[in-house]
Amino acid sequence: MKKYLSIIVLIAGLLFLGIKLYYKNVAPQMNFQNTVLTLLSNNTKTTINDLRGQVVMVSFFQSWCIDCAKETPILNELTTAINNDKFKTLYISDENVHKIEGFKSRFLSDKIVFAKCNEPFSSLGIHVYPTTYLLNKKGKTVLVKLEGYDWQKEKATIEKLLTE
């Protein structure tokens, strides 16, 4: 009986690990465009859909996330370099406003728009941070990256999307 119990525990552990790896490497589809967000700059309500007509970088972050911290100055620099009113970088967190403001104040982020999501990210299928989407002017996902990425590599892609 001990032999079978060990095998069952091993199989359960491998199954758990497999599920964890699956969620870690697969980004959810962008199906939360109508989720209400509160912009920190002016406390107004908006949605990702409200940004249609613009190329938008949408990053779901947490204040404790190291990769989020690494990605923030890169996205700020990219937004500054592109310097186009039709390109926005939107940072969204489901944490409280004080944590979001604390994160924002630690990094060069003056070109990034910060917002609070009142729904927990888990309900949106977001389990890895940052989960970052590049959306075209129609609001369709062009690229999605998990756990931080050097988005400077996509500058030409973004500039092309801006001309479409």
Looking at the predicted structure, is the pLDDT value of residue 7 above 70?
A: no
Banded model confidence at residue 159, pLDDT cuts 50, 70, 90: very high
The widest CA-to-CA distance across the chain, in whole angstroms, is 67
- 12 versus 51: the higher-pLDDT residue is 51
Q: What is the pLDDT of residue 21?
A: 47
Sequence ranges of the domains in the chain: 2-163
- Specify the DSSP class assigned to residue 30: S
The model's pTM is 0.82
Considering the four listed CATH numbers 3.40.30.10, 3.40.50.1000, 3.40.50.300, 3.40.50.880, the one that applies to the domain covering 2-163 is 3.40.30.10
CA separation for the pair 122, 42 (Å, rounded): 26
- pLDDT (tens digit per residue) in 64-90: 999 999 999 999 999 999 999 999 999
Give residue 159's identity as a one-letter amino acid code. E
**Burial bucket for residue 99 (CB in 10 Å: 0-12, 13-18, 19+):** middle
Cis status, amide bond into 130, omega within 30 of 0: yes
Banded model confidence at residue 6, pLDDT cuts 50, 70, 90: low
